Amino acid sequence: MIVKSFELSKQKINQTNFFLLYGNNKGFIEETINKNLKPIFSKNIYNFDETDILKEPEKFKEDILNKSFFENEKLIIISRATDKMFKIIDEIIEKKISDITIILKSNVLEKKSKIRNFFEKNSNTICIPFYEDNHQTLNLIAQNFFKNKQINISQENINLLIERAKGDRLNLNNELEKIEFFSKSKKKIEIKDILQLTNLAENYNISELVDSSLAQNKKKTLKIFNENNFDPDECILIIRVYLSKLKRLLKIQSEIKNTKNIDKVISSYKPIIFWKEKDIIKEQIKIWNYEDIKKLIVKTNKIELLIKKRPIISINIITNFILEQAIGTNN
């Protein structure tokens, strides 16, 4: 059956175990899965890409039908699903297995798509289209965010923020994340702050700079530095983003000790980790153990104090610090 995203209630979700979420609004799709579906089906989460399943389709079906691969209730999320998955999903649905929930994530599907037609017409499945956000939708997201965080910002500056995010929900969420870090020391956001926080080159932002450093990707870290001219105010923001991401890594490492399942920890983490961050977080977890992260948090706090004491050379301080971690000299 066709369900609009705003109609997705707990009652409707409980009517089925099979969902197709398709469209070009990937940010909204991830939001819906994380906020509406995972909290209900979050006991055991397994992520697949269609290409992986198609390599051994019979094994995938056999594992599900024989319950040999999974334990207890489980949620299976399949990314980049196309009509090639139709036959496999059809066979699984026919078996009426009650303890498996499957979510298919797809890009734009034409009206003639087999899998789209199947999910739309079948009363035991839910099909949700996700279209591009308009300015009104993004404006509402931003307004609610600033209201909840008690951050003072004008409508004019919200419009500028949406423009700088290129009308994309994922970009907007990233910009809001940066503003949240920035607002810890400033509760009123001015136009100069918006321009400052979003002035990195088109393909990179502060979050990616920090992620590249923590993933010890020296080449990418250097590239971001070379393509941008930072000022002292940005150095403070960068170090705070660095500290925030370290604290998140510390919490993830702590939870991994208990569950031994990195995918489950990342998927259930609050606040939500956006899909495009998940792979690089896995890389960082492999590099930084719990004790290393604790030491780096102490060092990061010292770097922030040093930047504040010596703003004239803050660019050199932050550059050296970030490159040290990217190169791997973290002791």
Same domain for 249 and 157, yes or no, is no
Percent of the chain, pLDDT > 70?
89
The rounded distance, in Å, linking the Cα atoms of 25 and 131 is: 6
Domain assignment present for 169: yes
pLDDT band at 71; cut points 50, 70, 90: low
Work out how many domains the chain is built from and give that number. Answer: 3
Q: What is the domain-level CATH number for residue 179? A: 1.10.8
Find the mean pLDDT for residues 38-49: 77
Same domain for 87 and 145, yes or no, is no
| DSSP SS3 for 74 | strand
Same domain for 146 and 216, yes or no, is no
Which residue, among 254, 328, 319, 256, has the nearest Cα to 296 in the 3D structure? 328
User: How confident is the model at residue 306, as a pLDDT?
Assistant: 92
pLDDT band at 69; cut points 50, 70, 90: low
pLDDT at 272 over 80: no
pLDDT band at 174; cut points 50, 70, 90: confident
Same domain for 252 and 176, yes or no, is no
Domain assignment present for 280: yes
234 vs 302, which has greater pLDDT?
Answer: 302
